[in-house]
Amino acid sequence: MIQPIQHGAELLRDIAETQVAAGEVAIWWFGQSGYAIKTASALFYVDLYLSELLTAKYANTEKPHIRMTEAPIRGGEINNAEWIFASHKHSDHLDPATMPDLFAASPDAKLVLPAALIDHAVSLGLPRGRLIPTRGEETFSIGPITVHSIPSAHPGLDYNEQSGYLFLGFVFEVDGVTLYHSGDTLAYDGLAERLKPFNLDIAFLPINGTDARRDALHVPPNMNAQEALTLAQAVGVKLVIPHHYDMFTFNTADVSDFTALADAAGQPYKVLQCGERFVWRH
C-alpha cells in the first residue's frame, strides 16, 4: 500500500502552519479526488474519502474496493475545517464514514454539495443548517471564495428541474488564483466552453477513464489521461493536477501514462504524492 508523505497530526499541523501569500495556493492531496486547498485567506477541503467504508462494503463482490493508498488522516482528526465541498453522492467523494466525524471535530464546518443531495446528507447525520446547496450553473460566495458550480457528466449530465444537476465540479476564485475541481466527469461537449472564461490557473482532472471490464461492472466512467489533457489545452489551463487514480485496484490508471502524454503535449502538470504539500505561485 502507498504510504502518505505526512500523516494525521503532522499533516494537520503542516496545513495550519503553512503561510500562503496572495497569488499563491498550497495544496495537499488526500488520495482519490480529495484535497486540502489553502490560499492567503481561505482553507477548504474537497471530495474527501478518508475511511475504509467501500473496502468493507464491496468485500467478496465482483468489484472489491482494495485500497492502494493509505488514508493520510481520518475525518475525526480534521478540526480546522470551515468550508468543505462534495461534488456528488458517491462515497469516495461524499463519504458517510468521514463527514459525520469531521463535522463533529470541526463544529463550524459547512458543506457545499448538489442541492439534490441535501436529504441524503441529512440521513448521514449532517445538520441541515450546515449544508449549502447548489443546483449547478450558479455563482455564489462563501467567506472570501467566489464559487461557480459547473455541471459534470458521470456519465450523463443528470438534471431535474427541482434540484438541478446531480454531478458537479467547482471553479474557485480566491486571493488571486482560479482553480477548477472537476469532481467525476467526462469531457462532454460544452465543458471547455463553460471553463474558458475563467482563465484557469489549475485544473484538477480525473484520468482513470474506463474500459470494457469496468463497463461490464457498471462503473461510471471518467475522462482518461488523453481526454483530460485535450480539455486542459482547449481551455488554456496553466497547470493540470491529475486525480482519481491509485485508490482502488479495480478502477485506477497508471499516472506515468498521463505524464508521458503531458510531456509530449508540452502541458505543465504536477503529480502529487499523498500527504505532500505543493505550493503554486503565479
Structural domain count of the chain = 1
In terms of DSSP bridges, do strands 34-38 and 24-31 run parallel, antiparallel, or are they unpaired? antiparallel
pLDDT band at 83 (very low <50, low <70, confident <90, very high): very high
Sequence-distant (≥ 6) Cβ neighbours of residue 227 within 8 angstroms: 186, 187, 209
Asked, for residue 31, whether it belongs to a domain, the answer is yes
Q: Which residue has the cell 496545513?
A: 15
Residues 99-122: what's their mean pLDDT? Answer: 98
Q: How confident is the model at residue 34 (pLDDT cuts 50, 70, 90)?
A: very high
d(CA 71, CA 2) in angstroms, rounded, equals: 9
- Residue 192 near residue 199 (C-beta atoms within 8 A): no
3 occurs within a structural domain:
no
What sign has the CA pseudo-torsion 233, 282, 259, 216? negative
The DSSP secondary structure of 187-245, one letter per residue, reads: --TTHHHHHGGG--SEEEEE-B---HHHHHTTPPP--BHHHHHHHHHHHT-SEEEEES-
**Position 2 in a domain:** no
Domain presence at residue 1? no
Domain span holding position 154: 8-273
pLDDT digits (tens, 9 = 90+) for 197-230: 999 999 999 999 999 999 999 999 999 999 999 9
Are 82 and 15 a contacting pair, CB within 8 Å?
Answer: no
In a domain, 156, yes or no: yes
pTM for this prediction: 0.98
CATH code, 62: 3.60.15.10
Confirm whether 278 is domain-assigned: no
* Residue 281 located in a structural domain: no
In this predicted model, what pLDDT tens digit does every residue of 232-282 receive, in sequence order? 999 999 999 999 999 999 999 999 999 999 999 999 999 999 999 999 998
| CA distance linking residue 8 with residue 75, whole number of Å | 10
Separation between Cα atoms, residue 41 and residue 70, nearest integer Å: 30
Q: Domain for residue 279, yes or no?
A: no
